[in-house]
Amino acid sequence: MRRPIILGIVGDSAAGKTTISKGFANILGIDQVTRVCTDDYHKFDRRERGERQISALHHDCNYLDIMQLHLERLHYGQPILKPVYDHSDGTLVRPEYVRPSQFVIVEGLLGFSTEVMRQFYDVKVYLAPDEALRALWKVKRDTTRRGYTAEQVREALRRREPDSAAFIRPQRKYADIVVNFNPPPGMSVEEAGPHLNVRLILRPTIPHPDLSYLLEGNNNGSGIRLELGRDHGLPVDILEIDGRVSGDQARRLADAIWQHMPELRPEDEAQFGNYHDGLRAHHSHPLALTQLLITYHVLRKYNDLTRMPFAPPVAAMSRQATHTAVVSGQ
């Protein structure tokens, strides 16, 4: 039995999760990708959250246990009856029958919250754009699609900050790749437009492509840099891509990413890096290369699938946790 490959994308509200996942799905083919949003597992609708004075980011506002069980079923290639949260009006609506395709994207706020959840992902990505940039994206999205005023969105950001710090940002340390979009130095987020830089933290939890050519002296000034660093006490590679990197340099990096696995390279890479800002279409080389790198990792996992075991079921993990707690208490 060939199980699905599960890509997890976690980040705060308006961090860019949908933009990243849509690009990935478009490249591999919509019929090959199943997308699941963990925001659908809210316990309360928008009105009820207001009455209870609880945010959608709080663990107590979400069915994390059901999320775990559904991740397990998806991992084993089994269908789920997924709840559905309608962001346009903040209501919980009729559940949806979801059968996993070969590739599954699980995106949302709390997807890496528990050890049980994390074991079911093959690749874990955390989106951490600069906070000023995320605020700008959230205002644009929520005022145009979700019926809020700009001041309501800013107030929600202020009110939810403690929960962001407590429940969202701690998940960053579990990611294989951390993605940080940021404006160029000396430029505001509004001025940067489609020319945002990206900083990718590549953790040694999964094998990354060989990008050592970037350490060569003749690569200075290319707009793409690789350096060694530390993150949460672990050695990491840090890949930085300037927003105005040339197409030639972007193609050179793409070639380096796929050099050891050319047979897995998608035939059509033209859709990488495309996004819409309102009614206008844009292309971003940093976004394209970020999506390409994530796609590389997912396809590499797919290629290695015959050597990858199934994760233990939720029940086994729960028994192990209970046993550990009992032993620790003795």
pLDDT digits (tens, 9 = 90+) for 234-280: 899 999 999 999 999 999 999 999 987 888 888 777 778 888 776 67
Predicted structure pTM score: 0.91
Structure tokens at 70: 């559904």
Residue 103 neighbours by CB under 8 Å, 6+ apart = 4, 5, 7, 28, 32, 33, 34, 298, 302
Is 271 a domain residue?
no
Assess if residue 92 is contained within a domain. Answer: yes
Specify the pLDDT at position 268: 73
Tokens (6 digits) for 263: 């047979």
Q: Which domain range does residue 288 map to?
A: 5-263+277-329
Number of domains in the chain: 1
Q: Residue 203 domain-assigned?
A: yes
Tokens standing for residue 204 = 């040694």
Judge whether residue 328 has pLDDT over 50.
Answer: no
Over residues 102-148, the pLDDT tens digits come to 999 999 999 999 999 999 999 999 999 999 999 999 998 888 888 88
Among 88, 141, 104, 110, smallest CA distance to 12 is for 110
Q: Indicate whether 121 belongs to any domain.
A: yes
Indicate which CATH number applies to the domain containing 142.
Answer: 3.40.50.300
DSSP-derived secondary structure letter, 97 = E
Residue 150 lies in a domain: yes
Residue 268 lies in a domain: no
227 inside domain: yes
Cα end-to-end distance, the chain, whole Å: 42
Identify whether the C-beta of residue 76 lies closer than 8 Å to the C-beta of residue 310: yes
Each residue's pLDDT tens digit, 5-32: 999 999 999 999 988 988 888 888 889 9
Q: How many helices (H) and strands (E) does the chain have?
A: 10, 12
Is residue 269 situated within a structural domain? no
- Cα–Cα distance between 119 and 16 in angstroms, integer? 23
